[in-house]
């Protein structure tokens, strides 16, 4: 059984320490998010990356904030309303049900989700069809190292394992990004 984040711990998703280690706007810029992009933020949670992404893509871009948790989406909806953000659409979806049109996205962000998915192939298959032929896939995950925070070691997906998983779906990593001692990121494209 995979490790799932408990929405009751949502306060852990945005705190000064996390912002210092992984500032959302700067992280998204390193992942090559661009103005005007149509983006799916898979497992958006409380919107740690969603709201900064909406500012980067601007009025010509769109963010589809997708999560399985009604509680997380409700929290994010309050933030969107309070800040009068107009380019974010919330989508409650199952792990294997994207509820988006094929070939509609310039950018897919999957942050800290892959390790929570039981059937990773089915999950990726579901979302990769939504990516345009020249679109980018960005994934942020926990390094396969022991640490005080994060999922158990045995649930983590290391870079080598992720690379093999993506290769099986004709996705190639074009850039690896060292985000911190415990986190890594990749940018990938269809090959």
Q: Which CATH number characterizes residue 48's domain?
A: 3.40.50.150
**149 vs 25: which has the higher pLDDT:** 25
pLDDT for the residue numbered 97 = 83
Contact 189, 172 (CB under 8 A): yes
**10 vs 83: which has the higher pLDDT:** 83
Q: Is 38 helix (H, G, I), strand (E, B) or coil?
A: strand
Report yes or no on 103 lying in a domain. yes
In terms of residue numbers, what domain contains 162?
A: 7-190
Report yes or no on 1 lying in a domain. no
Residues in the chain: 191
Residue 8 has pLDDT above 70, yes or no: no
Provide the Cα torsion 106, 108, 109, 110; round to 10°. -170
For the chain, how many structural domains are there in total?
A: 1
Q: Is 107 helix (H, G, I), strand (E, B) or coil?
A: strand
Contact 88, 50 (CB under 8 A): yes
What pLDDT band is residue 16 in, cutting at 50, 70 and 90?
A: confident
**Among 184, 100, 178, which residue's Cα sits nearest to residue 142?**
184
Residue 176 has pLDDT above 80, yes or no: yes
Tell me the whole-structure pTM to 2 decimals: 0.92
Neighbours of 46 (CB within 10 A): 23
Strands 131-142, 183-190: parallel, antiparallel or unpaired by DSSP?
Answer: antiparallel
Element (H, E) at 66: strand 62-67
Q: Which residue has the tokens 């009025």?
A: 59
């Amino acid at each position: 059984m995979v490790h799932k984040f408990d929405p009751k711990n949502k306060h852990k998703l945005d705190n000064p320490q996390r912002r210092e280690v992984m500032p959302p706007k700067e992280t998204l810029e390193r992942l090559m998010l661009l103005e005007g992009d149509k983006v799916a933020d898979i497992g958006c949670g409380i919107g740690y990356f969603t709201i900064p992404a909406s500012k980067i893509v601007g009025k010509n871009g769109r963010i589809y904030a997708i999560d399985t948790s009604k509680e997380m989406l409700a929290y994010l909806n309050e933030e969107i309303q309070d800040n009068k953000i107009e380019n974010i659409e919330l989508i409650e979806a199952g792990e294997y049900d994207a509820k988006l049109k094929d070939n509609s996205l310039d950018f897919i962000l999957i942050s800290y989700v892959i390790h929570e998915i039981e059937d990773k192939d089915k999950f990726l298959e579901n979302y990769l069809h939504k990516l345009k032929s020249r679109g980018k896939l960005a994934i942020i995950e926990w390094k396969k190292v022991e640490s005080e925070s994060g999922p158990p070691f045995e649930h983590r997906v290391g870079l080598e394992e992720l690379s093999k998983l993506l290769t099986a779906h004709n996705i190639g990593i074009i850039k690896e990004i060292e985000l911190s001692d415990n986190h890594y990121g990749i940018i990938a494209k269809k090959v």
